[in-house]
Structure 1
Amino acid sequence: MLELDKLSLAIGKQSLVRELSLQLQPGQLHVIIGPNGTGKTSLLRALFGELPLQQGEIRFGGHALSRRHGASWRRQFGYMPQNTQLELELSVLEVVVLGRLDSLSMRLSDDDILAALSALQALGIAHLADRAMHSLSGGQRQMVLFAQVLLRDPQIMMLDEPVSALDLQHQLQLMEHLHHQTRAKNWVSLVVLHDLNLAAQFADRLIVLAGGTLQAFGPPAEVLDAGLIHRLYSVPVDIHRDRDGKPYIRTLRQASLCA
């Protein structure tokens, strides 16, 4: 279990997150939603040990995050940040193999190469294996970096807006794979998404942040309602249910904008 105990974050005098307490269970996909600038990325960076805590504690498996043990703490994570603008001369296969950087020797093993190819195949992008990373589209880079993260064999998986450049097919493919692997490998998974319908479809638990504070936490069917969404985004919506009982959201045009 990943535990956040009264966690507060700040950069200079700017408060980012205030007294956030959560318990995140293995085998569950947690999706973080909320308006821009509300601390979602900062929270992931803090969990990874990149952003110092103003106060509070982060614990996993009975151990607390500390600067002294930062390197060993990070080895538990598969972390894919927002920025995928990497101008690398390496091939796609070489970039994915770097997911095992901590265990690589001077010579690549057949197991490393086969594992990288298997990750590419599972995501439907094996045909890109020999392409140079710098020649790929933004969406292709996101899929390659996700394959790299999969190779790290993490205990905690964190993805920051992983579908922002993907078409509909690849959005679903990435989220389905993440959902399946979270259960199969008992990961604690956290994903930042802006697409509320995608979040509602795949999340076991939603973490709703606004103004640096926790607004709601729980299953999408219990958390998402028109009032909450209007408070978060100042947008009127209708909430419907799909055939599985999961909420989906339809935004409404505002009369003032249509006049």
Structure 2
Amino acid sequence: MNPHISTTGLALSRFSAGYPKRQVIRDLTVPRLPRGEITALLGPNGSGKSTLMRAMAGLGPSTGELSFDGENLLALPFARRAEKVVYLPQTLPAGVHLHVLESIIVSQRAAGGVHDARSQQQVMSLLRQLGIEHLALSYLDRLSGGQKQLVGLAQSLIRQPALLLLDEPLSALDLNYQFHVMDLVRRETRRRNIVTLVVVHDINIALRHADCVLMLKEGRLLAEGAPSRVITPEILAEVYGVRGRIEPCSQGIMQVIIDGLVGSAVPA
């Protein structure tokens, strides 16, 4: 943990969320996720990752405490929570017939921003950083899935959130863009001193880019902490049912290598 980063941030205490007849997230407690750091949310399908993200954004029922910089977000009206929290879902709403540039300006204004020459430069700079400046005057409903994800990230970042929730922002991106986007998210998280939570399925992305990992299983927090402490052969076996190793690549970066399924024969 960077000693120069503020000690404020996000904390959850006995946080539960789900649906009227089915609780998905059960009594989740995380002491503190500091500003300036990325937390990767990992777990198998159906473990509650998206439910947790939606509940933190105020888009689903929840109980317990969700505090940011010491303030309980659950006690705030939705509009005030939205001033601090920005949630990017897995897919953007369909049928939006706006230019990319227009859609980002709308997001900027929704967050109380004033669109002038300076803010237009900020928008174009963000599009350049994401490699989609050439799409500024393209219509959203004509973009590919990956291009829409990049536009969604631009819409999220332009709103200047204190808490950024990204639900599988890499799912439609090719390998090059996955690394490009995560490098950008890590850089902006540190520069803006915000808290970022990102749902990913690629464990190696978490090992490479995250400061902290929350590992969910069946709606409960199984492990949390530094990626090297949470992502272990034992956890991989328990959560994903696979036999895996964590070894350094030629660049010294730790990576997961899957050898097979738990219970399957080990190659001679």
TM-score interval, normalised by the smaller of the two chains: over 0.9
Which residue identity is paired with 2:125?
A: S
Q: How does 1:91-102 map to 2 (within 5 A)?
A: 91-102=99-110
Offset at 1:237?
Answer: 1.6
Offset at 1:257?
Answer: 11
Q: 1:175 pairs with 154, 157, 182, which one?
A: 182
**Are 1:15 and 2:9 counterparts?**
no
What are the ranges of 5 or more consecutive residues in structure 1 without an aligned counterpart?
none
Which residue identity is paired with 1:19?
A: D
1:76 aligned partner: 84
What TM-score does the superposition give when structure 2 sets the normalisation length?
A: 0.89
Shift of the 104–152 alpha-carbon distance from structure 1 to 2, 3 Å rule, reads: closer
Q: How does 1:121-132 map to 2 (within 5 A)?
A: 121-132=128-139
Shift of the 247–257 alpha-carbon distance from structure 1 to 2, 3 Å rule, reads: closer
Aligned mates of 2:198, 2:116 — CA distance in 1: 31
Which residue identity is paired with 2:105?
A: V
Q: How does 1:83-162 map to 2 (within 5 A)?
A: 83-84=91-92, 86-102=94-110, 103=112, 108-162=115-169
2:57 aligned partner: 48
**Are 1:195 and 2:202 counterparts?**
yes
Cα contact 1:221–1:246 (8 A) shared by 2: no
**Are 1:5 and 2:5 counterparts?**
no
Offset at 1:230?
Answer: 1.2
Larger mean Cα displacement after TM superposition, 247-256 or 33-42: 247-256
Q: What is the aligned residue count?
A: 255
Secondary structure of the residue aligned to 1:75 is helix
What are the ranges of 5 or more consecutive residues in structure 2 without an aligned counterpart?
1-8
Secondary structure of the residue aligned to 2:172 is coil
What TM-score does the superposition give when structure 1 sets the normalisation length?
A: 0.92
1:210 aligned partner: 217
Shift of the 244–64 alpha-carbon distance from structure 1 to 2, 3 Å rule, reads: farther
Cα contact 2:67–2:73 (8 A) shared by 1: yes
Aligned mates of 2:14, 2:44 — CA distance in 1: 21
Displacement over 3 Å in runs of 4+? 242-246, 253-258
Shift of the 220–104 alpha-carbon distance from structure 1 to 2, 3 Å rule, reads: closer
Cα contact 2:91–2:149 (8 A) shared by 1: no
Identity rate, percent: 34
Which residue identity is paired with 1:125?
A: I
Aligned mates of 2:113, 2:194 — CA distance in 1: 23
Cα contact 1:220–1:246 (8 A) shared by 2: no
Cα contact 1:85–1:138 (8 A) shared by 2: no
Secondary structure of the residue aligned to 1:88 is coil
